[in-house]
Amino acid sequence: MLQEEEIGSNLFALTRKVPLALPDGSTGLVGIILASVTPNVHLKDAETTYDTLSLASGDHLRQLNESLSKRARELESCLTLAELKQQATLEIAHTDVTTGLKNRLGFEAELAAAIHGAEATGKRFGVAFIDVDRFKQINDRYGHATGDLVLSTVGKRLSELPDIFAVARWGGDEFALLTELPNIGQAALLEGFEDAHRYTFRPVKGDHRRINISGSVGISVYPQDATCSDDLMRYADMALMVAKRQGRGRVLPFDAHINDAMSRRLQIIRDLPDADPPPPPPAPLPPCATARPDTAMAPASAAVRARAFSFSIAFVSCLEDAVCAPARPACALPSLRTLALIADTVLTDQA
């Protein structure tokens, strides 16, 4: 077995130990020097230099690692800050300033997420459009600060309703919300909507006064009425329009009758000419309108006249909204009523 031993000052030997029998009968070891080496001074300096450089490299590597770690933490902090700013910007873009609710953009995102979730779970939900009735009169009478108070109060009350998972200010005096729908009958469901309506449109207290408010609500249901966001919002808006035309202050779910009525109305509006109609020529009243009191009207004629009258009223209503509003001359309404009478007469004669 070879061993390296120091046999003198700065002198090293390569030895091998072998057993040797001594005269007294004992056994010992004898070291045989195979080679001796005197270390080179330059080699020792090189080792010292290597050790010094190794220590310096280790320090440099440690400093480099610390610098990289610090830079990584700085970049991570900058990235986190950028994400927070982006989230805050997105939140601002989706929030209404006056009420603190979501705005139209935020509501559309919530509706898209609700549809995606309902497709997976099969649950239904409702889309409601809510309008504060005669809100302009509140602004004109009490001022815009009070109007903002009314809007904020209505928004807060809508957010407090049970089963509501998204509320937004759609624009102006109109709100939109998404609500879960329990598995109950239509009558019980409508009763729940009525209770929510009464809770939301209680009087508002502000500036030492009590402000009475009312609202109209239109509702569509996923997937009963539609499965895409555009149709759900359009149908809820249709129901809201009909609710306001029926006298305001009511809740109206969308149904096929509303769709048919609005389709007829839109068709009339599309068919109206761009210019105001010329003054109609004078026309005699139809026979049934000038008949003597003792003359009975045939049932068929009465039914025809009822249908014609219904059409003429719808026609005039559309004309008032689409042609003459907002600046209609004082003589416009009498002319429109005359036009309705002519339409009534023509339809009756044709029938």
Quick one: pLDDT at residue 288?
Answer: 52
- Structural domain contains residue 159: yes
Q: Which among 191, 222, 256 is the end of a domain? A: 256
Say if residue 319's pLDDT is above 60: no
Quick one: pLDDT at residue 16?
Answer: 73
Q: Which among 203, 227, 256 is the end of a domain? A: 256
Task: Read off the pLDDT of each residue in 94-120 and give the average, rounded to a whole number.
Answer: 94
- Structural domain contains residue 55: no
Distance CA 28, CA 318 (A): 128
264, 266, 267, 273 alpha-carbon torsion, rounded to 10°: 140
Does one domain contain both 220 and 116? yes
Containing domain of residue 293, as a range?
A: 272-350
For a pLDDT cut of 90, what percent of the chain falls above it? 40
Does one domain contain both 146 and 252? yes
Q: What is the DSSP letter of 276?
A: P
Does one domain contain both 118 and 220? yes
Least confident of 61-75, 210-224, 270-284, 311-325: 311-325
Residue 23: band (very low, low, confident or very high) from pLDDT cuts 50, 70, 90: confident
Task: Read off the pLDDT of each residue in 80-89 and give the average, rounded to a whole number.
Answer: 84
SS3 call for 147: helix
Quick one: pLDDT at residue 344?
Answer: 45
- Which domain CATH number covers 127? 3.30.70.270
Active-site annotation holds for 173 = yes
Does one domain contain both 235 and 294? no
Q: Which among 256, 281, 314 is the end of a domain? A: 256
Does one domain contain both 126 and 233? yes
Peptide bond into 326 cis (omega under 30): yes
- Structural domain contains residue 224: yes
Does one domain contain both 116 and 190? yes
Quick one: pLDDT at residue 300?
Answer: 46
Quick one: pLDDT at residue 55?
Answer: 74
Does one domain contain both 229 and 126? yes
Does one domain contain both 324 and 242? no
Does one domain contain both 307 and 168? no
Quick one: pLDDT at residue 345?
Answer: 46
Quick one: pLDDT at residue 44?
Answer: 60
Q: What is the DSSP letter of 143?
A: -
Say if residue 31's pLDDT is above 80: no
Most confident of 89-103, 263-277, 326-340: 89-103
From the list 240, 247, 3, the residue with the least C-alpha distance to 127 is 240
Does one domain contain both 117 and 251? yes
From the list 98, 118, 119, 131, the residue with the least C-alpha distance to 165 is 118
Q: Annotated catalytic residue: which of 96, 133, 173, 344? A: 173
- Structural domain contains residue 225: yes
Residue 8: band (very low, low, confident or very high) from pLDDT cuts 50, 70, 90: confident
Does one domain contain both 112 and 246? yes
Least confident of 5-14, 78-87, 169-178, 331-340: 331-340
Quick one: pLDDT at residue 155?
Answer: 96
Taking only the tens place, the pLDDT of each residue in 203-246 is 999 878 899 999 999 999 999 999 999 999 999 999 999 999 99
- Structural domain contains residue 244: yes
Say if residue 101's pLDDT is above 90: yes
Q: Is the dihedral of CA 102, 104, 109, 110 positive or negative?
A: positive
| Helices of type H across the chain | 41-93, 104-121, 135-142, 144-160, 186-200, 229-245, 256-271, 287-290, 299-319, 332-350
The answer to whether residues 203 and 213 touch, using CB atoms and an 8 Å cutoff, is: yes
How much is the mean pLDDT over the chain?
A: 79
Please tell me the total count of domains within the chain: 3
Does one domain contain both 156 and 235? yes
Looking at per-residue pLDDT, the higher value among 176 and 36 belongs to: 176
